Amino acid sequence: MKGGDVPVDVQPLVDNMPPGLHDVFAVLKTAFGPQHWWPADSAFEVMIGAILTQNTSWSNVERAVTGLRAHGCLDPTRILSLEHDALAEMIRPAGYFNVKARRLVSFCQWYLEQGGYSELSTWLDERLREALLGVHGVGPETADDILLYAFERPVFVVDAYTRRFFSRLGLVTGNIPYEPLRRFAETSLAFVPADERVGLYNEFHALIVAQGKSICRPKPRCGACGLSQRCPVGRSEPAR
């Protein structure tokens, strides 16, 4: 989002948002420290990881990426040279390996057809996002992972952790669709200078994931949360 414009479908949420989302970020950063996310050696590795992480844990993705690296296959041309069964076996730890093998092939074909990173990096944000969403197996969250972490574009990634965390804080409803939730996050952080948004979005998303894994679980550990007194769910939890 550019210029801090507030989309019509998000404005009521922003109007009713409790102040201090930047304070929420500060509390999480104090609790968890810098996340150094996304862990990868190259932009292309980020893209592969974004596809492999669908419906699985990051530890499984790391094992799959390690398998690709061991065979010298963290490269689109090498991936396309593999037989389906060989590729599927390399990424087996990531689960749904036959489906993900086909998705990797589709992505690599598209990636090379567009000229690779050097060409894609010249595209404007909206054009690049729309093109990514047209690739087989790439949905909004995967596209935004790639935009933020591989191409360093100011796009806020939302996922199940974000939805649960923001809804428990009373910022949004739990059934808000993906796009309004993404625009809500970006609008709420529009006070941040444009040249700092990529870094903030990167770190904030990573911190929300850390919070979601360790504290704001499906069954929350509110007693261990530094935001419990600001959170309706935390305030409603019985003292222990």
pLDDT by residue (tens digit) across 16-47?
A: 444 468 889 989 999 999 999 999 999 999 99
Residues 144 and 180 grouped into a single domain:
no
> Which CATH number belongs to the domain containing residue 128 in this structure?
1.10.340.30
Residues 55 and 138 grouped into a single domain:
yes
Residue 191: the pLDDT is 86
Among 150, 169, 202, the domain boundary falls at 150
Per the prediction, the chain carries an average pLDDT of 90
Print the SS3 string covering the chain.
CCCCCCCCCCHHHHHCCCCCHHHHHHHHHHHHCCCCCCCCCCHHHHHHHHHHCCCCCHHHHHHHHHHHHHCCCCCHHHHHHCCHHHHHHHCHHHCCHHHHHHHHHHHHHHHHHCCHHHHHCCCCHHHHHHHHHCCCCCCHHHHHHHHHHHCCCCCCCCCHHHHHHHHHCCCCCCCCCHHHHHHHHHHHCCCCCHHHHHHHHHHHHHHHHHHHHHCCCCCCCHHHCCCHHHCHHHHHCCCC
177-204 confidence digits (pLDDT tens): 999 999 999 998 988 899 999 999 999 9
Residues 144 and 171 grouped into a single domain:
no
Residue 239: the pLDDT is 53
Region 229-238: mean pLDDT is 86
Is residue 1 in a domain?
no
Residue 167 belongs to domain spanning? 11-35+157-234
Residues 23 and 86 grouped into a single domain:
no
Portion of the chain with pLDDT greater than 70, in percent: 90
Is residue 3 in a domain?
no
